Structure 1
Amino acid sequence: MLTTVLLAATPPDIPGFLVAPFVLLILLIATGPIFFPHFWHKYFKIIAVGLGLLVLSYYLLVLQDTHMPAETLAEYASFAILLSALYVAAGGIYINANANATPLINVGILLFGAIIANVIGTTGASLLLIRPFIRLNNHRIKPYQIVFFIFIVSNAGGMLTPLGDPPLFIGFLKGVPFFWTLQHLFTPWAIAVGALCTIFFILDSRNKATFIPKPAVKAKIEKKTEFYFTGKRNLLWLAVIIGATFLNPSSFDWLPYIPMEGGVKVSFVREVIQLSAAFLCFKLASRTALNGNHFSFDPILEVVFLFFGIFFTMMPALQLSAALASSPEFAAKLTPTVFYWVTGSLSGVLDNAPTYANFLSLGMAKYHLNYASVSDVQHFAYGLAEHPETLLVLEAISIGAVLFGAMTYIGNGPNFMVKAIAEQAGVKMPPFFQYLFKYSLVYLLPVLVLIWLLVIL
């Protein structure tokens, strides 16, 4: 039984207007690439960093609060370093296929991507597989194939480990045990991936008009079905990067750490190992693999800069939402169903990582738990003795953040990256609202309703 619970520290002098930079940044992320792409592509780094520094300066100079910024910086560094290391390692692995792109083979690739996304992240799996997936289907490629790739590989697949999707890694950094996701989210993962693969198989089976490739291509692929793999050495670096993730000073007392207020232990050993592995991985990577993947740092740099702004501008939103959730009137309305649909809906139109963080803070505040306490997060994850429903609350938040991230291009980082690669390869991808109304609401939403009925309700 939890004997001591603490309300997330919320200084009474945080003004409401301090949330404005966070709202502005999220709106710009949503609308910039669509309505003013040239301006946004040129200035998004300056805008994101500038808004983050604006809020950071207010905390340091006006509120004179160093604890919240320091803790946020530590979380951001761990988050950005892991994503970057996985991105670099995956970029040095090149896969190509000589096979007839039947619906069954395509489903196999999507299922494989959904599995490995839990090891190298949805960003890494998307980068690794999207180009070979397009090359394999070059004689019959259609927009729906890329959309379902986004649904399955870039989002739903990464639900089983904290490595899979950014929201779950944030939960891991806050204290959710590493294997909690595999233990409690396997059923919704299987439902989501299974249902989406089934729908894709039906749609892909109807693509019979272009099922048979041109004679020259057909002669080549009928010689032998082969898959080519270059960059095997990167598997070792991937193992080092993933292994370092477990080096948490809260779990291993012998690890050096930076002490923070409230007993928080900030890791730096795993980050140093991951950065070193990423550097050596890139230096020693196969040039053939890098060139074959058209590897560049632009996609991951976009994530790094944008999330700098997101992490720091959302500090007041986290604290104010925790204070709101602590009121009995508001807390009574926060059921697992509410958490699932509200977290999910916002994850679809905002970025799902900060949405997860906000609603984890809200959920814990309802039970007067401290979002900054690792032990409180662990108690919340497995259900309090007096409130066992907290387990279902965290499941609802986690499932909603991951699955609804596929509802739009802006719901999760890999979505835009896959869209850009597909368009570069000549695929005419649906614009924002066509993606939403023609694909997400028609194919993805029924799966989300099914999971709500079977798992959450």
Structure 2
Amino acid sequence: MLGTQAQAASLDGSQLSLAWAVPFVGILLSIAIWPLAGPHFWHHHFGKVAAGWALLFLLPFAVVFGPGAALAGLVHALLAEYVPFILLLTALFTVSGGIYIRGNLKGSPLLNTAMLAIGGVLASFMGTTGASMLLIRPLIRANDNRARNAHVVIFFIFVVSNIGGSLTPLGDPPLFLGFLKGVSFFWTLGHIIPETLLLTVVLLALFFALDSFFYRHEGAARPDPTPDTESFGFDGAINFALLAVVVGLVLMSGVWQPGVVFDVMGTEVGLPGLVRDLGLIAVTVVSLVLTPRAVHERNQFSWGPMQEVAKLFAGIFLTIIPVIAMLQAGVNGPFGAVVRAVTGSDGQPVPAMYFWATGTLSAFLDNAPTYLVFFNTAGGDAQQLMGPLASTLAAISAGSVFMGAITYIGNAPNLMVKAIAEDRGVRMPSFFGYMAWSVGILVPLFIVLTLVFFR
């Protein structure tokens, strides 16, 4: 994700027109509309649609700025952001998919709420992607005989795939990028834990009440399509050790600074990042080799969800480049009104506005590059932001993580969880249908957070 920031910085966003944002808006609208308007077409051609929007950006870019600049931009997007991003997600997806939680789990309101709470805690230590991939399958399996189960996955996305990852740099990509920029590892734990606890407790209470209502009014349960009478336990437990290796590799890439850098067509590839990425490939291969085939079969493990995320985010990473550049141009760019809105008349940042601006854009632009944009808009000095401007950094951190839950594309695990749930027969809401849930439930809670913490 950091590469998006660097690539955008090479463009003068103040000289770009809003027309350069059309491919990015187009791919977002495609993700929102096609699954509803043409599900069969989308299922078979979403990769072609993403490639089409990417080319609609890249080819005009080559004409205007030259083929060399376009090729350098493509290489930069691949090496500095997309490849590391996908390798990390693939490793977490593979390792988590190699752990099978067995046992006679039955989707009662109490058990479902407990699983959401456990996932919320795990998310800050093994990442929202890792926690989501570990728990979404057993949660779906526990509820696969219930008439209503989409709400379980929706709240799972709220709590586990987003809000739970707010306490450490391991939890969510925006916070890891802040760590790389100089924010202390435990800073977020010390500064936004009250916001996280309030939001999580209220959401778990709301979920328990809603799930209890549905549970009481469903009548006789359908026959369980996945009867399971085994004792509770874990198969493929070697993957827990591999998860620890993934965490170690990511941390290593942030703290080890040997100063060795390779230049690939103008893109700097540091040795720590290269070691991390090779390590992630090794972890993925080791997991596939050591995980018994029966575990993958029981988990109904398939590459479909990962392929969807990989293809769609390839288009997103390319088309977002000019959008970030325009945001970085500040008050002189096409999005100058956004920058002016987060600054008070005294020239000081307004935490409430940073919370909503960062959060709103994170819901649609992907939260990691958005975090970096507003981190730099607020000055970009980690020591200053952790000190006198601590409330502003807290607002940026909370907004980028919390509001990634507003849409399916706000955070990578959202789309993966949706794809897995639909693959298992859960009738998930459309893009806008999901937003009806998220806006109706989360936005009022965000307003409360603003009044309590970010005034």
State TM-score, norm by structure 2: 0.81
Write out aligned runs for 1:163-202 (5 A): 163-172=170-179, 176-202=183-209
One-letter amino acid matched to 1:445? V
Q: In the alignment, what sits opposite 1:344?
A: 359
Q: Distance in 2 between matches of 1:443 and 1:144?
A: 12
Aligned length: 430
Percentage of matched positions with identical amino acids: 38
Q: Distance in 2 between matches of 1:215 and 1:72?
A: 48
Q: CA deviation at 1:169?
A: 4.2
Q: In the alignment, what sits opposite 2:255?
A: 251
Structure 1 gap segments, 5+ residues each: 1-6, 370-375
Write out aligned runs for 1:51-66 (5 A): 51-52=53-54, 55-56=57-58, 62-63=64-65, 65=69
SS at match of 2:241: helix
Q: CA deviation at 1:80?
A: 1.6
Do structure 1's residue 124 and structure 2's residue 130 form an aligned pair? yes
Write out aligned runs for 1:83-98 (5 A): 83-98=89-104
One-letter amino acid matched to 1:419? K
Q: CA deviation at 1:75?
A: 2.5
Q: CA deviation at 1:94?
A: 0.7
SS at match of 2:408: coil
Q: CA deviation at 1:311?
A: 1.7
SS at match of 2:103: strand
**Contact 1:44–1:306 (Cα < 8 Å) also in 2:** yes
Q: CA deviation at 1:71?
A: 4.8
Q: In the alignment, what sits opposite 1:158?
A: 165
**Contact 2:174–2:371 (Cα < 8 Å) also in 1:** no
Q: Distance in 2 between matches of 1:75 and 1:102?
A: 41
Q: CA deviation at 1:95?
A: 0.8
Q: CA deviation at 1:216?
A: 9.8
Q: CA deviation at 1:270?
A: 0.9
Deviations 1:238-281 (A, max 9, x none): 11111011222x63233743369899946211111111111111
Q: Distance in 2 between matches of 1:431 and 1:311?
A: 23
Q: Distance in 1 between matches of 2:316 and 2:107?
A: 40
Q: CA deviation at 1:112?
A: 0.9
Q: In the alignment, what sits opposite 1:4?
A: none
One-letter amino acid matched to 1:230? D
Match of 1:307 among 313, 316, 319: 313
One-letter amino acid matched to 1:26? L
One-letter amino acid matched to 2:366? N
Q: In the alignment, what sits opposite 1:3?
A: none
Q: In the alignment, what sits opposite 2:438?
A: 440
Residues 430/274 of structure 1: CA separation in 2 closer, same or farther (3 Å cut): closer
Q: In the alignment, what sits opposite 2:24?
A: 22
Residues 60/138 of structure 1: CA separation in 2 closer, same or farther (3 Å cut): closer
Q: Distance in 2 between matches of 1:101 and 1:24?
A: 39
SS at match of 2:257: coil
**Contact 2:97–2:301 (Cα < 8 Å) also in 1:** yes
Q: Distance in 2 between matches of 1:403 and 1:115?
A: 15
Q: In the alignment, what sits opposite 2:50?
A: 48
Residues 381/44 of structure 1: CA separation in 2 closer, same or farther (3 Å cut): farther
Deviations 1:270-296 (A, max 9, x none): 111111111111122121221111111
Q: Distance in 2 between matches of 1:12 and 1:407?
A: 27
SS at match of 1:294: coil
Q: In the alignment, what sits opposite 2:341?
A: 333
Q: In the alignment, what sits opposite 2:447?
A: 449
Q: In the alignment, what sits opposite 2:394?
A: 395
Q: In the alignment, what sits opposite 1:35?
A: 37
Residues 228/90 of structure 1: CA separation in 2 closer, same or farther (3 Å cut): same
State TM-score, norm by structure 1: 0.80
Q: CA deviation at 1:347?
A: 3.5
Residues 100/442 of structure 1: CA separation in 2 closer, same or farther (3 Å cut): same
**Contact 1:323–1:365 (Cα < 8 Å) also in 2:** no
Structure 2 gap segments, 5+ residues each: 1-7, 343-349
Q: In the alignment, what sits opposite 2:372?
A: 360
SS at match of 1:311: helix
Residues 37/140 of structure 1: CA separation in 2 closer, same or farther (3 Å cut): closer
Residues 434/271 of structure 1: CA separation in 2 closer, same or farther (3 Å cut): closer
One-letter amino acid matched to 2:257? D
**Contact 1:110–1:149 (Cα < 8 Å) also in 2:** yes
Residues 351/331 of structure 1: CA separation in 2 closer, same or farther (3 Å cut): closer
Q: Distance in 2 between matches of 1:213 and 1:228?
A: 28
Q: CA deviation at 1:100?
A: 5.1
Q: In the alignment, what sits opposite 2:4?
A: none
**Contact 1:321–1:361 (Cα < 8 Å) also in 2:** yes
SS at match of 1:319: helix
Q: Distance in 2 between matches of 1:451 and 1:412?
A: 21
One-letter amino acid matched to 2:280? Q
Q: Distance in 2 between matches of 1:381 and 1:58?
A: 38
One-letter amino acid matched to 1:123? T
SS at match of 2:216: coil
Q: In the alignment, what sits opposite 1:408?
A: 407
**Contact 1:326–1:365 (Cα < 8 Å) also in 2:** no
Match of 1:136 among 142, 158, 161: 142
**Contact 2:320–2:365 (Cα < 8 Å) also in 1:** no
Write out aligned runs for 1:365-380 (5 A): 365=377, 367=379, 369=380, 376=381, 378-379=382-383
Residues 204/411 of structure 1: CA separation in 2 closer, same or farther (3 Å cut): same
Q: Distance in 2 between matches of 1:90 and 1:81?
A: 14
